[in-house]
Amino acid sequence: MIYIILFLFSFSLTYFIKNYAIKKSLVATVNERSSHTVPTPHGGGIAIAVTWFGGLLYLFINHQIEQQLFYALLAGVLISIVSFVDDIYELSPKLRLSVQSLVALAGLYFLGGLETLTFGIFEISNIYITSIFAFFLILWYINLTNFIDGINGYVGSEFVFLSLSGIVFFGGAHFIVLAVAVLGFLFWNYNRAKIFMGDVGSTLLGYNIAIFTIYYANQNSETLWVWIILFSLFWFDATHTLIRRRFNKEKLSQSHKKHAYQRLIQAGWSHFKVTNYAIVLNLITFSLVFFLSNIALSFFLTMVLLFITMKFVDTKKPFE
């Protein structure tokens, strides 16, 4: 029953925020980086955040989530608050990064760092080295999720997929809470979006997946790669684009429309089509992890799949 209540709360709050944003003219304007053509309300991520943290508190009170995971996830409140302010006032990148770094350190503190990095034939167990890796992983996941949030239903469907995958592989009521929190928003954002998530939602979701990655890796070091594979569609696109822009000697802080999903939109694909194809790719990566016992083979095949996908996107809209 609690999950139905949380879904309805997210659904209703998103609807309220949408109407309020329209009334107050709080809309995402169309600019050179936009993949949309109509000014649309933003801030729907507030509904995700409020529902998520409310659900987490319920789980904590009822002893349905481990304490260290609860506190690590709860640290994301600060990211949500700062990102909400940034959605309205556009804070400086240095301030945003400082807050993200502080939250990343807090999350790692509550999790006890990352214990082991395993690469199949060898492991790194130096807590300082592994935690430095985890620190930058958190920062990258926060920011790449924000970068990738640009078309209808794209980020929302990704995190519903990740939540459902978490339920299948690891169980845990926190994944159900995350799924229903995002689903309530996604109803208004999928296909013809009536509201956008905004930084308040995307940065929080990126933080959450980073915390899940580290938390479960501390239980079984191999699961680090499970999460990396499941989230690969997003981080591969963001990292691949960043590297190509670097080789092009572009100013990395400058806005652009060169992510794979953006180039497909420029090639004439609809938001609906791009998002649905992304869902298919996610299901394939899930199958690779689920049906193959060798995680190294799963990772290799996933990288091949995504490399082929990027080459396909290049044929539709070259990287310029």
Task: Determine the average pLDDT of the residues in 293-315.
Answer: 95
Residue 54's pLDDT is 97
Which H or E element spans position 149?
none
Least confident of 106-110, 132-136, 193-197, 216-220: 193-197
Q: Predicted confidence band at 34 (pLDDT cuts at 50, 70, 90)?
A: low
Whether pLDDT at 239 is above 70: yes
Residue written as token pair 């996107």: 313
* Residue 247 in this model has a pLDDT that exceeds 90: no
297's CB contacts (< 8 A; 6+ apart) are none
Mean pLDDT of 228-237: 95
| Cα Dmax for the chain | 59
Tell whether the model's pLDDT for residue 161 goes beyond 90.
yes
Instruction: Kindly indicate the confidence band of residue 24, based on its pLDDT and cuts at 50, 70 and 90.
Output: low
Residue 25 has what pLDDT?
64
Name 28's bridge partners. 40
Quick: pLDDT tens for 97-123: 999 999 999 999 999 999 999 887 778
**In this predicted structure, what is the pLDDT of residue 192?**
78
Asked whether the predicted pLDDT for residue 220 surpasses 60, the reply is yes
Range 214-222 average pLDDT:
94
Reported pTM: 0.93
Structure confidence at residue 207 as a pLDDT band (50, 70, 90): very high
pLDDT of residue 29: 59
Which residue, 79, 89, 80, is CA-closest to 26?
Answer: 89
Q: What average pLDDT does the segment 19-24 reach?
A: 80
Say how many CA atoms lie within 13 Å of 275 toward its Cβ: 23
The residue-averaged pLDDT of 21-43 equals 65
Q: Inform me whether the pLDDT recorded for 32 exceeds 60.
A: no
pLDDT of residue 97: 93
Tokens linked to 40: 């649309």
Q: What is the pLDDT of residue 110?
A: 97
Give Cα separations from 129 to 133, 136, 223, 304 (angstroms): 6, 11, 18, 28
Q: Using 50, 70 and 90 to split pLDDT, how confident is the model at 26? A: low
DSSP H or E segment with residue 115? none
Q: How confident is the model at residue 125 (pLDDT cuts 50, 70, 90)?
A: confident
Q: Report residue 229's pLDDT band, with 50, 70 and 90 as the boundaries.
A: very high
Q: Please, which pLDDT band fits residue 251 given cuts at 50, 70 and 90?
A: confident
In this prediction, residues 57-67 reach a mean pLDDT of 96
Q: Are 36 and 190 in contact (CB under 8 A)?
A: no
Spatial separation of the C-alpha atoms in residues 100 and 82, rounded to whole Å: 9
In angstroms, rounded to a whole number, what is the distance separating the alpha carbons of residues 125 and 117? Answer: 6
- Listed in sequence order, the residues at least 6 apart from 143 whose beta carbon sits closer than 8 Å to its beta carbon are 100, 203, 206
Buried b (16+ CB within 10 A) or exposed e, 119-156: eeeeeeeeeeebbebbbebbbbbbbbbbbbbbbbbbbb
